[in-house]
């Protein structure tokens, strides 16, 4: 602080002395300027007298009126009657000695006497100048006599030029060169000479005074600058030894401490100032570092345990996924095959539906657990696609409108007018979020309504989902987004994992959004969430296959041969039955070795390879098949109950061309077959197919439509299925109507019935 104060005083002193020095130099400059301007004015007085003499003598010799005119102009300029030229110097009139030349008078109109007063001449000097100017006026009278004599005009006894006669050049010349004229000239120069002496003495004294002051200030500047330099150097050395060196020692000490070198010695009592405080702080840091090093080993052990636990968790989930999906593959697959059989009784079909729904529920639980695990591990990817937002909302409406109506609930969707039609974002994740939230509302609402409101603002989509259900207590609101948390209610004993809302929150966060809920018991619950989106064009909409609309493939003219490899017989038989039903020739292998043996004997068009098999697993089997150049072109589809993305990537890297997850979805299987065999899929909503179905449906009896419409209005799915089984109609028509029932399209069924009743 002392150094700062002293340096500040030093710099202020330098600034003050330099300022005084600058002021002194300005005063010296002003003295020189005054001296110069005064000389110019005195010189003009003398010069004007000389110019008048020269012009008058020239005129009396030549009689040229140009010089008379110039003579008068000089007098008018000196007396302030005409404008003064801006550059009025001794050679001004030398450029205007020829006939026709006109002087440029572009300056101020001011008498010479006023200029002298402006210059702040002392009275004694001004009196000398005025005396010189007065004498100049006397000389001017002689010059007037001479110039009038040239014109033949002479003075009368009163001194007026009234007598006219012949021009007398001789008299004019005598007047201009007479002793009287020269004496008048001397009288002009005498006061001017005295003025020069007084002026030079005064201005020189002022200049000398200012010079003396400037030299004195220069001395002060040199002294204060020298003192400041010395003081600065002293300050620098003080800072060097008291601050920089200790800080450098601290830097070295910190570097050693950062590399866990505890041999650093720090003497915090050496400096009794801020640096000493810093050294004390580093000493404390050293002690803390020792403690940290001591606990680092324990932290590493804990991290290793956490990694091991996380790895064990991943292995457990992968195993559980595989072990649960494998029997589900058989349960769902064979239940679908049996459901298509027209030999089963209605009771058997109902039992199959129960098996299928239970299996799908179990599969949904497994998927939710895996989904949460992938989110926690950071393995969920958001994949933006271009799609029609309003079509997605229509799909959501088709899923929930009749499900709500079946429970006696009103379901409404309100879309804001400024909503974009085509957007780019992850449509699958958005659909998953909406289904999770709306299903949650549907589950806990028995009367009233469920609504979805959607609007756009600042490149975000905002969703509001409201219901009039049982509501949630404030204390439970804080934990509804936590995994495996379920709100218990005596009237609602619903099955579930408690993962839906937790997954929903994580997905919203991954889509750069936020979600929160408001609720009141017995009044309902409101969910609000937002997600990012990008604008897009309808021409960029990704072409996507709609699984729910696939009903089969066109007839396979060229029979293809397929090898199914799986160490579990049930899984082999399931795939074999599905493929055989669509006209493919199928071979089976129960191990990787058997698959290679069959592959060497028989030519196949496609291989379905199970990944996890005892002995030689599927990945190694694929690599062995790919070794031969001729076998590299055969399509191999990996089949696995392990559905993590890394499992799919490993399969592709090992040589597989595609991936089919267990439980096997027949429609996904058909898409794979169509891809590799260039087959054409049959869609339910194909215009020609639909037209044919509608035409054949219209030929059915009206009684059939009346009964079917009664069940449709009641949304009684079981009665509709039983009615269809007992009806004598074609199988594909039954399948079409069943498909509408499974997708809750009771309204479409009712419209078909009413159209054919009328």
pLDDT at 286 over 80: no
Calculate mean pLDDT across residues 122-149: 77
pLDDT at 299 over 70: yes
Higher pLDDT, 322 or 76: 76
Please report the pLDDT score of residue 686 as a whole number: 46
Kindly state the tokens that stand for 56. Answer: 């008058």
Calculate mean pLDDT across residues 124-144: 75
Kindly state the tokens that stand for 83. Answer: 């404008």
pLDDT at 544 over 60: no
- Residue-wise pLDDT for 654-671, tens only, equals 889 988 888 788 888 888
pLDDT at 154 over 90: no
Residues 476 and 520: their CA atoms lie apart, in Å, by 11
pLDDT at 691 over 70: no
First to last CA, the chain: 104
pLDDT at 302 over 80: no
Q: How confident is the model at residue 450 (pLDDT cuts 50, 70, 90)?
A: very high
pLDDT at 545 over 50: no
420-424, 660-664, 694-698: least confident range: 694-698
Question: Are 697 and 752 a contacting pair, CB within 8 Å?
Answer: yes
- Residue-wise pLDDT for 389-398, tens only, equals 988 898 888 7
Q: How confident is the model at residue 562 (pLDDT cuts 50, 70, 90)?
A: very high
pLDDT at 633 over 90: no
Please report the pLDDT score of residue 174 as a whole number: 85
Please report the pLDDT score of residue 493 as a whole number: 46
**b vs e for 476-494, b when ≥16 Cβ sit within 10 Å of the residue's Cβ?**
bbeebbebeebbebeeeee
Q: Quick one: which H or E segment has residue 226?
A: helix 179-239
Higher pLDDT, 157 or 286: 157
Higher pLDDT, 343 or 82: 82
Higher pLDDT, 544 or 208: 208
- Residue 380: which of 429, 311, 431 has the closest Cα? 429
Please report the pLDDT score of residue 460 as a whole number: 92
What DSSP state is assigned to residue 665?
Answer: P
Calculate mean pLDDT across residues 723-740: 80
Higher pLDDT, 744 or 342: 744
Calculate mean pLDDT across residues 385-406: 84
175-184, 294-303, 434-443, 669-678: least confident range: 294-303
- Residue 335: which of 362, 305, 314 has the closest Cα? 362
- Residue 9: which of 208, 232, 293 has the closest Cα? 232
204-213, 307-316, 650-659: least confident range: 307-316
284-298, 359-373, 456-470, 726-740: least confident range: 359-373
Please report the pLDDT score of residue 637 as a whole number: 93
Q: How confident is the model at residue 554 (pLDDT cuts 50, 70, 90)?
A: confident
Higher pLDDT, 116 or 486: 116
Alpha-carbon torsion 735, 738, 739, 740, what sign? positive
Q: How confident is the model at residue 28 (pLDDT cuts 50, 70, 90)?
A: confident
Average pLDDT, the chain: 78
Question: Are 587 and 602 a contacting pair, CB within 8 Å?
Answer: yes
Higher pLDDT, 688 or 63: 63
pLDDT at 138 over 90: no
The residues near 125 (Cβ < 8 Å, ≥ 6 apart) are 195, 198, 199, 202
Verdict on whether the full-model pTM lies above 0.75: no
Please report the pLDDT score of residue 543 as a whole number: 46
Please report the pLDDT score of residue 65 as a whole number: 86
Kindly state the tokens that stand for 437. Answer: 């939230």
Please report the pLDDT score of residue 103 as a whole number: 87
- Residue-wise pLDDT for 319-330, tens only, equals 556 566 666 666
Please report the pLDDT score of residue 476 as a whole number: 76
- Residue-wise pLDDT for 501-520, tens only, equals 887 888 898 889 999 899 88
pLDDT at 462 over 60: yes
Calculate mean pLDDT across residues 168-188: 84
Please report the pLDDT score of residue 588 as a whole number: 93
Please report the pLDDT score of residue 352 as a whole number: 64
Higher pLDDT, 696 or 165: 165
The residues near 495 (Cβ < 8 Å, ≥ 6 apart) are 361
Question: Are 523 and 567 a contacting pair, CB within 8 Å?
Answer: no
pLDDT at 689 over 80: no
DSSP assignments along 253-270, one per residue: HHHHHHTT-TT----TTS
- Residue 28 backbone zone (phi > 0: left; psi -120 to 50: alpha; other: beta): alpha
Phi, psi of 161, deg, nearest 5: -90, 85
Please report the pLDDT score of residue 219 as a whole number: 84
Q: How confident is the model at residue 71 (pLDDT cuts 50, 70, 90)?
A: confident
Question: Are 145 and 160 a contacting pair, CB within 8 Å?
Answer: no
Higher pLDDT, 314 or 187: 187
Provide the 10 A C-beta neighbour count for residue 555: 10
Question: Are 105 and 85 a contacting pair, CB within 8 Å?
Answer: yes
The residues near 549 (Cβ < 8 Å, ≥ 6 apart) are 683, 684, 685
Calculate mean pLDDT across residues 733-758: 78
pLDDT at 290 over 80: no
- Residue 660: which of 643, 682, 644, 684 has the closest Cα? 643
Please report the pLDDT score of residue 137 as a whole number: 67
142-146, 360-364, 715-719: least confident range: 360-364
Please report the pLDDT score of residue 361 as a whole number: 56
Percent residues over pLDDT 90 in the chain: 10
DSSP assignments along 102-127, one per residue: -----S----HHHHHHHTT--HHHHH
243-257, 433-447, 666-680: least confident range: 243-257
Q: Is 758 helix (H, G, I), strand (E, B) or coil?
A: coil
């Amino acid at each position: 602080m002392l150094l700062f104060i002293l340096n500040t005083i030093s710099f202020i002193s330098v600034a003050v002395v330099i300022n005084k020095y600058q002021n002194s130099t300005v005063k010296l400059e002003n003295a020189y300027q005054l001296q110069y301007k005064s000389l110019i004015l005195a010189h003009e007085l003398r010069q004007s007298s000389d110019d008048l003499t020269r012009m008058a003598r020239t005129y009396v010799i030549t009689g040229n009126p140009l010089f008379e005119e110039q003579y008068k102009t000089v007098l008018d300029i000196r007396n302030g009657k005409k404008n003064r030229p801006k550059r009025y110097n001794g050679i001004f009139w030398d450029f205007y000695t020829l006939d026709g030349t006109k002087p440029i008078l572009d300056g101020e109109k001011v008498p010479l006497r006023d200029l002298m007063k402006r210059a702040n001449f002392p009275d004694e000097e001004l009196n000398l100048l005025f005396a010189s100017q007065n004498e100049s006026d006397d000389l001017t009278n002689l010059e007037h006599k001479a110039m009038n004599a040239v014109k033949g005009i002479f003075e009368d006894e009163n001194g007026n030029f009234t007598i006219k006669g012949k021009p007398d050049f001789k008299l004019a010349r005598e007047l201009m060169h007479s002793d009287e004229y020269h004496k008048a000239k001397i009288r002009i120069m005498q006061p001017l000479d005295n003025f020069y002496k007084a002026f030079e003495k005064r201005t020189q004294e002022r200049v000398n005074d200012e010079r003396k002051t400037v030299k004195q200030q220069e001395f002060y500047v040199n002294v204060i600058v020298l003192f400041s330099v010395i003081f600065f150097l002293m300050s620098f050395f003080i800072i060097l030894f008291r601050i920089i060196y200790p800080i450098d020692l601290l830097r070295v000490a910190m570097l050693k401490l950062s590399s866990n070198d505890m041999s650093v010695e720090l003497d915090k009592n050496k400096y009794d100032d801020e640096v000493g405080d810093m050294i004390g702080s580093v000493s404390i840091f050293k002690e803390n570092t020792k403690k940290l090093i001591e606990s680092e080993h324990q932290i590493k052990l804990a991290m290793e345990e956490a990694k091991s636990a996380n790895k064990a968790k991943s292995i457990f989930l992968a195993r559980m996924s595989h072990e649960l999906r494998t029997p589900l593959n058989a349960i769902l697959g064979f239940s679908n095959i049996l459901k298509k059989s027209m030999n089963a009784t209605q009771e058997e079909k109902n039992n199959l539906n129960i098996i299928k729904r239970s299996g799908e529920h179990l599969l949904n639980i497994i998927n939710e657990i895996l989904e949460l695990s992938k989110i926690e591990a950071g393995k969920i990817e958001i994949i933006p696609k271009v799609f029609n937002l309003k079509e997605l909302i229509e799909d959501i409406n088709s899923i929930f409108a009749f499900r709500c109506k079946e429970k006696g609930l009103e379901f409404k969707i309100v879309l804001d007018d400024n909503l974009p039609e085509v957007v780019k974002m992850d449509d699958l994740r958005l659909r998953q979020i909406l289904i999770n939230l709306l299903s949650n509302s549907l589950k806990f609402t028995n009367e009233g309504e469920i609504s979805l409101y959607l609007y756009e603002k600042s490149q975000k989509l905002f969703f509001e989902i409201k219901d009039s259900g049982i509501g949630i207590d404030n204390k439970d609101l804080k934990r509804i987004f936590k995994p495996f948390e379920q709100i218990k209610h005596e009237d609602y004993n619903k099955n579930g994992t408690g993962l839906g809302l937790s997954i929903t929150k994580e997905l919203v966060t991954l889509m750069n959004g936020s979600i929160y809920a408001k609720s009141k018991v017995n009044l309902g619950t409101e969910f609000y969430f937002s997600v990012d989106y990008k604008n897009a064009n309808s021409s960029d909409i990704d072409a996507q296959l709609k699984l729910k609309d696939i009903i089969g493939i066109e007839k396979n003219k060229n029979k293809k041969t397929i090898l199914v490899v799986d160490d579990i017989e049930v899984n082999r038989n399931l795939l074999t039955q599905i493929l055989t039903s669509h006209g493919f020739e199928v071979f089976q292998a129960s191990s990787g070795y058997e698959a290679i043996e069959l592959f060497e004997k028989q030519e196949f068009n496609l291989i379905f390879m199970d990944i996890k098999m005892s002995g030689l697993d599927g990945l190694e089997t694929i690599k062995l098949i790919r070794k031969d150049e001729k076998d590299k072109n055969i399509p191999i589809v990996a089949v696995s109950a392990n559905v993590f993305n890394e499992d799919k990537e490993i399969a592709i890297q090992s040589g597989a061309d595609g991936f089919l997850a267990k439980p096997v979805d027949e429609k996904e299987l058909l898409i794979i077959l169509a891809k590799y065999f260039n087959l054409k899929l049959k869609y339910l909503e194909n215009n020609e197919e639909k037209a044919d179905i509608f035409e054949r449906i219209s030929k059915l009896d009206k009684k059939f439509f009346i009964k079917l419409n009664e069940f449709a209005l009641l949304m009684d799915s079981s009665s509709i299925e039983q009615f269809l089984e007992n009806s004598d109609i074609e199988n594909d028509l039954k399948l079409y109507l069943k498909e509408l029932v499974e997708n809750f399209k009771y309204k479409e069924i009712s419209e078909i019935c009413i159209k054919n009743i009328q």
